[in-house]
Amino acid sequence: MDSVLGNWPSYDPHNFSQLRTSDPSRSSKMAPATYHSIHNRDVPPADQVINTEHKNILLREIYRRAEEKLTPKRAASDNLIPEHGSKQPRVST
């Protein structure tokens, strides 16, 4: 039986008998389509450095809540634009 699996042993000799392999000559010509992005938002800036945040998650949460409280309450219209609309690289302290 000429299969991709060769003559590997199996419990039941009738297993894999129905398998039809794809034609090897055809498969090499058809490369799967790859995606190329048409916008440049995905390109990271050349000087981006990714580091571990030094503050642990508890302190990050405490600081985040503290900053929320300290900024005086803005009018409702100001809050329509989210602060982190587009991701910016963040310098770790």
Partner 1 sequence: MFFKSSNITARIFDRQICTPAPGTSVHYARKFYENLVPSYTVYEVECPDHSFRKFTDDGQYLISFSRNQQELIVYRPRWLSFSCKDEDCDNHDLPLKAKRFESFFTQLYCVPLASCNELICKDFFLYMESNKFGLFATSTAQVHDAPAVGGAVQGVPSIEKITFHLLRLEDGFVLDEKVFCNDYVNLAHNLGVFLYDDLLTIVSLRYQIIHILQIRDSGNLVHVRAIGEFCREDDELFLNSNAQGMALSDKNKQQQLLGNHIYNNIHQAQPNPGNSFLSGIKQRLLSFMFRGLWNEETDDTLRVQKIRQKFYFHFQDYCDLIIWKVQFLDRHHLLIKFGSVDGGRQVSRHADTHPAFVAVYNMDTTEIVSFYQNSADELYMLFEQFCDHFYATSRNSMHMNFISSHSNNIHALEQLRSIKDKASSSSQFMKKMLSSLPFSCQSLSPSPYFDQSLFRFDDKLISATDRHKQSTDHPIKFILRRHPYSLRFKIKPGPEAGSMDGRAKKISWFLFHPVLPLALSVQQTLIMQPPLVNISVVNIHFRR
**Which chain residues interact with partner 1 by CB under 8 A?**
55-59, 61-63, 65-66, 69-73
- Closer to partner 1 by CB, 4 or 57: give it: 57
- Closer to partner 1 by CB, 44 or 72: give it: 72
**Chain center to CA of 15:** 38
Q: Minimum Å distance from CB 69 to partner 1? A: 6
Residue with the two structure tokens 């302290």: 93
- Closer to partner 1 by CB, 56 or 86: give it: 56
Q: What is the DSSP string of 31-65?
A: PPP----SSSTTSPPTT------SS-HHHHHHHHH
Residues 34, 67: Cα–Cα separation, whole Å: 43
Q: Minimum Å distance from CB 55 to partner 1? A: 7
Q: Minimum Å distance from CB 72 to partner 1? A: 5
